[in-house]
A and B are shown apart, each in its own frame.
Chain A
Amino acid sequence: MENTLINTHVKLLAFDFNTLTPLPSDSSLFSRTASPTPLSRAETLGLITSRDLKPNKFLRFTIDDGTGCISCILWLNHLSSPYFSRRDPADVRRMAEVADALACVVQVGVVARVRGKISLFRGVVQITVTDVGVERDPNAEILHWLQCVKLARKCYDVLPCSSSQVDGNCSGTSITSPVAHKWMDADKLST
């Protein structure tokens, strides 16, 4: 039961994400201070505040969600890395095209939703990006904060975590604002 979040993109606020520590038994898995549940993937949403492009190598960028900054890396080396040499060349070309398209989306000043694997680089936890989407709704970030708070309190901090909780269908929220409920219910309907 403790492994139920391993393949879930957990929605974490940056201040929480930056305290993740690798498990001694498996460095590809991480845990939060508040809960020992192993995590491997994360989702964040915030303003992109820096962008460092190394063409055909990688794009490193930073997401600021108001509680901290999360470092993200998008690999762009599919056509030169030996890591992909055993894969079908057509698949690798397609992966490279997708990564290039995602890199174009990442611009300083836009609000983006980023999903990917949690990894560690020079002692800093980061997201190795698999997906980026621009959020144009000015309220998207607020909804993300509320979802992070609700999920942390009702799912991530609660052990054992059932699959229905992971899907975000937790009941009995402790958020008392009726406006917040309106937004959370709207989100539940859209998923």
Chain B
Amino acid sequence: MASPAISFGALVTLKELTSTSPHFKEGASLRVTGKLQDYNVETAIAIINDGAATLQVDTQHLKINFRISSIYQFIGELHIDSPEEAVLKARVGRNVDGIDLNLYYQSLKLLQEFQSDQIRKQDA
């Protein structure tokens, strides 16, 4: 069966999103989650972090009231200026204060394992 035209945001953690990651590609659709570290009102660029890992997010198309230290989730396309500098152009975003991040990361692993198992079964 064909898939819907809109690309889905692949679930990725900021720690995984390094220049060697398969997700680190120009135009890749990603879903990222992190704590808001900084927000520039003039450029609408938000910087989110997960521990030491950070990512710039262009939020110009979103209508969200940003609060420093709140947790946000964004879906968008990655634009890579250099291996050290990438910006996610967000098309969807939301505040996820109250999310259990440990559970989120554990569930993500389970989900990825399950997906690999199912795809292996389908290919067999």
Contact = CB atoms under 8 A, between A and B. Distances in A.
A66 B9 contact: yes
Interface of B: 1-4, 6-11, 31, 62, 71, 75, 91-94, 96-100, 102-104, 106-107, 110-111, 114-115, 118-119, 121-122
7 closest A-B pairs (Cβ-Cβ)?
A138-B99, A138-B96, A71-B4, A66-B11, A69-B4, A123-B2, A69-B8
B121 A66 contact: no
Contacts of B111: 13, 66-67, 145, 149
30 contacts: A15-B118, A18-B4, A19-B1, A34-B122, A47-B9, A47-B31, A49-B6, A49-B75, A64-B9, A66-B10, A66-B11, A67-B115, A68-B3, A69-B3, A69-B6, A109-B62, A109-B92, A122-B2, A124-B3, A137-B98, A138-B98, A139-B99, A139-B100, A142-B104, A145-B111, A146-B107, A149-B110, A177-B106, A180-B106, A180-B110
Interface in A87-126: 108-111, 120, 122-126
B122 A62 contact: no
A40 interface: no
Bin the interface of chain A by size.
35 or more
Contacts of B6: 49-50, 62, 64, 69
A52 B100 CA distance: 32
B114 A47 contact: no
Given A19-B122, A64-B92, A123-B2, 17 more contacts: A13-B115, A47-B31, A62-B4, A66-B10, A66-B111, A67-B8, A68-B8, A71-B4, A123-B1, A124-B2, A137-B98, A139-B103, A139-B104, A142-B99, A142-B104, A179-B100, A180-B110
B99 A111 contact: no
Interface of B is mostly: mixed
A158 to B, nearest CB: 13
Interface of A: 13-16, 18-21, 33-34, 47-50, 62, 64-71, 108-111, 120, 122-126, 137-139, 142, 145-146, 149, 152-153, 175, 177, 179-180, 183
